[in-house]
A and B are shown apart, each in its own frame.
Chain A
Amino acid sequence: MAEARSETLVPASAWGGGASPFAMNSKKLGMWLFIISDALTFSALLVAYTYLRLATPNWPTPFHFSPSILFASLMTFVLLSSSLTMVMGVHAMNHGHRRRAVGWILATMAGGAAFVILHATEWRHLIVDEGVTPFSNPWNEPLFGATFFALTGLHMTHVIVGVLYLGVIAIGVGRGKFKPEDVEVSGLYWHFVDLVWMFIFPLVYLMSVHI
């Protein structure tokens, strides 16, 4: 057929090759793709949690305002704020303020570290004081602890990896090696970690409703 060959030689759209259709570098696209995949992993875990919770008649709701909810709210605050500092870091980097960017990234790392410490304290409280472990707890619904530790544990792993990742970025930026886009890509990851918590926090802590 004629139309297949009579196409113009110059690509008609961004999809015609020789250009990035999203007008972004491949690294950023790669990070977005990773985020999609990782989001699905977390979704699968959250759906598994929902599935098991729905099938369990007496799901325990032991999170009281103090200390658990208070702690978790504080953690949410820390994480959200670290997202703000991160976006400020990206912003500074985009405007060519390298030193300021390093400062913001360090602040973000501090936020991440604070989150991990708070979370670890809460885990300790649950394990030592309340006797919740992945396989048993005082309310005799072992899945409660299992889902809690699996979900928050995987998230905490992501936070720890994120802090290390940001450390590498901070050093690179400080030495003048990395470009603004590298900071932005690391920012994408960090915000994603924040985003996941926005779903884990209400589903695991706040849904203390009897089903």
Chain B
Amino acid sequence: MSSPVTHHAVHAAPKGFLRRYIFSTDHKVIGKQYYLLALFSVFVGMLLSVLMRYHMIYPDAKVSWFEKLWPTGAAGGIMTPELYLSLMTMHGTIMVFFVLTTAPQSGFGNYFLPLQIGAEDMAFPVINMLSFWTTFAALVVLLAAFFVPGGAPLSGWTAYPPLSAVGEIAGPGQGTGQTLWILSIALFCAASLMGAINFIATTIDLRAKGMTLMRMPLTCWAWFVTAILSLLGFAVLLAAGILLLLDRTAGTSFFLPAGLVVNDQILNHKGGSPLLWQHLFWFFGHPEVYIAILPGMGLTSTVLSVFARKPIFGYRAMVYAILAIGFLGFLVWGHHMFVSGMNPYTGIAFSVLTMAIGVPSAIKTFNWIGTLWGARIRFTTPMLFALGFVSLFVTGGISGIFLGQPALDLYLHDTYFVVGHFHMIMGVAAIFGIFAGTYYWFPKMYGRMMNETLGKIHFYLTFIGVYAIFTPMHFVGVAGNPRRYPNFKEFEFLGELLPVHTFMTHAAFFTAAAQLIFLFNFFWSMKKGAKAPVNPWEATTLEWTVPSPPPHDNFGGRLPEVYRGAYEYSVPGAEKDYLMQNEPAVAVKE
């Protein structure tokens, strides 16, 4: 059944609710499942962040329903610092793994990779289903950490040992909660591995006739390279996870040196090194940043080209930039460790490589602006989000130039400058990519258009909101505000910065509220939106040649043939202002 080309010529849609909607092997159903999982996660993550921001400026406020949610963490309705830290850990973990990794890659990638390259399904449909349900299990295990004695872990999404390795004596949540956290991450590793194998094999083997690598839409390139990053990165994280799990449960001391006295207890560990975890973790952790952002970059490129009605500027350069980012992404993990006690010579080497990765990122930005130059821009909602992505990408990327230099990192490390930086670029920019994808592909996924007016309102409120939240973080970072502080009562210099934090918290409330518009639009349009035509945006890629939503076997049993690249807009001499990828050769004036 898996010979590459004549791959199950026509397959009938499965009957029965379970096989069709729950344990489906259809990449489109799985894509939607992933997307909805991410949608659920993003709202949980956002709720946690709003609670955190609230606690930061009103640490002593009494809110009765806090106690209902967390009887121990918020006894009497007052949130404790440890509850704050566990919210922070869960916010980071949920957002990084279950939103930024899941939505753009597993969600959109699953749905649209086969459609865009002209395949009937992914290469391994059953593994695809398993991968989703493993991810689901990982999310359940992670959320379960809230409900065990001690609550969720408080060591941050990076889980640096010894804090994460010595167990409950290091703080509440470091017991069962932290163990569940690691189990969840291990499950997620397995799921990502299955997903990555599927994506790579699909991209290599199942491209339709004529779909050369250099004709693939940039989204496919981004998913492909992201899958390679997952394949390699998660493998190392799995190794680190195994060691940490052993440290916690089997009494080993991979990450625990001799002479530890935690909470007045002398520990019998000997010989390990906390830095080893940091190396292993960031070996995965930095590529992970690109796993989160690359699909957004690919999507932005496509959306910009579609709505600028102009071919993408420098397609080849864009492809090489994606490849270069993927390659260099593995060479820069040490910049997370400039002040961690790492060998200073290694630090200098890492800093040069870190700056080198700025180059392909700059190429992408220039090419996006080059694409818009001389264009005829249609301001639809997906286009607005793509433009917002470019703006945020520049803002977030620029601050990376500060952090990539070990000299400047000596002050900025672990301040709010870092928080602002990575939220701008891998948080919000990536989320903008997801929003652009949602508004762009919703018609294809659900067969109905989303409401444009609501979409635009959502965009403007969000765009203003995120700048208002995350820009001031850079300012307080420059003033030296350390991150991961539940409140700012203990330090004199932090007291002066409180008004800025108050502003950011209100901006966060505002932005979070604006997301309800999106939620409403999403579910309302699913039922009541205008029926979507086959190709509402007049785009050229293959997913716009099939009905909305596509039938079970995508192309009705006849695989398309591809004749040209993915970005043929405003072609001189053509009848329409665009040429579909599968349109046979037509007379075109040179």
Most buried by A among B3, B118, B234, B252: B252
Closest B-chain residue to A53, C-beta based? B271
- Is A209 an interface residue, CB under 8 A from the partner? no
- Is B515 an interface residue, CB under 8 A from the partner? no
Residue from the list B207, B235, B253 in contact with A38, Cβ < 8 A: B235
User: Which chain A residues lie closer than 8 Å to B559 at the CB level?
Assistant: 18
User: Which chain A residues lie closer than 8 Å to B546 at the CB level?
Assistant: none
Q: Is the CB of A17 within 8 A of B212?
A: yes
- Is A62 an interface residue, CB under 8 A from the partner? no
* A18/B272 contact (C-beta < 8 A), A4-B565, A45-B239 known: no
In the complex, A85→B212 CA distance in Å? 40
User: Which chain B residues lie closer than 8 Å to A37 at the CB level?
Assistant: 193, 196-197, 231-232, 234-235
- Is A131 an interface residue, CB under 8 A from the partner? no
- Is A211 an interface residue, CB under 8 A from the partner? no
User: Which chain A residues lie closer than 8 Å to B563 at the CB level?
Assistant: 9
Q: Is the CB of A55 within 8 A of B273?
A: yes
User: Which chain A residues lie closer than 8 Å to B198 at the CB level?
Assistant: 30
In the complex, A4→B588 CA distance in Å? 13
- Is B213 an interface residue, CB under 8 A from the partner? yes
User: Which chain B residues lie closer than 8 Å to A122 at the CB level?
Assistant: none
- Is B425 an interface residue, CB under 8 A from the partner? no
Q: Is the CB of A40 within 8 A of B209?
A: no
Q: Is the CB of B585 within 8 A of A9?
A: yes
In the complex, A22→B201 CA distance in Å? 11
In the complex, A22→B368 CA distance in Å? 34
Q: Is the CB of A51 within 8 A of B276?
A: yes
User: Which chain B residues lie closer than 8 Å to A9 at the CB level?
Assistant: 210, 563, 584-585
- Is A206 an interface residue, CB under 8 A from the partner? no
Q: Is the CB of A17 within 8 A of B232?
A: no
Q: Is the CB of B5 within 8 A of A18?
A: yes
| B-contact bits for A133-164, CB 8 A (1 contact / 0 none) | 01110001111011100100010000000000
User: Which chain A residues lie closer than 8 Å to B252 at the CB level?
Assistant: 134-135, 142-143, 145-146, 150
- Is B250 an interface residue, CB under 8 A from the partner? yes
Interface size class of A (residues with CB under 8 A): 35 or more
* A52/B272 contact (C-beta < 8 A), A22-B204, A135-B251, A146-B246 known: yes
Closest B-chain residue to A49, C-beta based? B254
- Is A36 an interface residue, CB under 8 A from the partner? yes
User: Which chain B residues lie closer than 8 Å to A44 at the CB level?
Assistant: 235-236, 239-240, 280, 283
Closest B-chain residue to A143, C-beta based? B271
Q: Which of A38-92 contact B (CB under 8 A)?
A: 38-42, 44-45, 48, 51-52, 55-56
In the complex, A57→B128 CA distance in Å? 47
- Is A202 an interface residue, CB under 8 A from the partner? no
User: Which chain B residues lie closer than 8 Å to A141 at the CB level?
Assistant: 270-271
Q: Is the CB of A18 within 8 A of B271?
A: no
User: Which chain B residues lie closer than 8 Å to A26 at the CB level?
Assistant: 2, 4, 123-124, 201-202, 205-206
Residue from the list B3, B231, B254 in contact with A143, Cβ < 8 A: B254
In the complex, A140→B2 CA distance in Å? 54
User: Which chain B residues lie closer than 8 Å to A45 at the CB level?
Assistant: 239, 242-243
27 A-B pairs within 8 Å (CB atoms) are namely: A2-B590, A11-B209, A12-B212, A13-B212, A16-B209, A17-B117, A19-B5, A21-B205, A26-B4, A26-B205, A29-B205, A30-B123, A33-B200, A34-B193, A34-B197, A40-B232, A42-B239, A44-B236, A48-B239, A48-B280, A55-B273, A134-B251, A142-B269, A143-B253, A146-B246, A146-B254, A147-B254
- Chain A residues proximal to chain B, CB less than 8 Å: 2, 4-5, 7, 9-13, 15-22, 25-27, 29-30, 33-34, 36-42, 44-45, 48, 51-52, 55-56, 134-136, 140-143, 145-147, 150, 154
- Chain B residues proximal to chain A, CB less than 8 Å: 2-5, 117-118, 123-124, 127, 193, 196-198, 200-202, 204-213, 231-232, 234-236, 238-240, 242-243, 246, 250-254, 268-273, 276, 280, 283, 315, 559, 561-565, 568, 584-585, 588, 590
Q: Which 10 A-B pairs have the closest CB atoms?
A: A18-B209, A17-B207, A17-B211, A135-B251, A44-B239, A146-B252, A20-B4, A40-B235, A143-B271, A26-B123
In the complex, besides A29-B201, A56-B271, A143-B254, 17 extra interface pairs with C-beta distance below 8 angstroms are A2-B590, A4-B315, A18-B207, A18-B559, A25-B3, A26-B2, A30-B198, A33-B196, A34-B197, A37-B232, A38-B235, A41-B236, A52-B254, A52-B271, A141-B271, A146-B250, A147-B254
